[in-house]
Chains A and B, each alone.
Chain A
Amino acid sequence: AQSVTQLDSHVSVSEGTPVLLRCNYSSSYSPSLFWYVQHPNKGLQLLLKYTSAATLVKGINGFEAEFKKSETSFHLTKPSAHMSDAAEYFCVVREAAGNKLTFGGGTRVLVKP
């Protein structure tokens, strides 16, 4: 069975400083991995996806993530946080045998001015 663990439930950063959101996954197969963002009272927006091509994946709004198979990690980073980045972020793994998405518990990001 696959699972996703987001190592921080809350992250607080100052505007203009780097953001790091940590994610570890467990999967029996070569996984497809995603990061989604959810702003208050909104649905989920895809930030980026990894599907066994380049291990460093660039997404929207300056976010990127690095797939490390040896560490079973898929951490999300952004060099400089913006106030609009305040939201909840979900690391997601796709089941290889089907199309079910399994979500981590989420990391809430607070950006201080």
Chain B
Amino acid sequence: GAGVSQTPSNKVTEKGKYVELRCDPISGHTALYWYRQSLGQGPEFLIYFQGTGAADDSGLPNDRFFAVRPEGSVSTLKIQRTERGDSAVYLCASSSYRGYEQYFGPGTRLTVT
């Protein structure tokens, strides 16, 4: 079947705007993770969903960042009042259960001008 998909692949926005990034996990995967990867760095954990609930959101940098997964499948990462420092590649990964092998999406490259 299809792997993890993320849309859009690229997003350019102006400072102060609101953006939504979407992740479609592998069907049946209950665990979903969001990461942020800045240039020259490894993926940085943001939030983990088990089913519909955010089981761990300790990686979200501040209250401008929020994520939802209302039906336990598709997830949306929302960033309010974007700042230039938010520019990065946002990765989504899913797995059949927490701690198991994660399958990554291609990422969304966010550029805040």
Physical interaction between A and B = no
Binding site for A on B (CB under 8 A): none
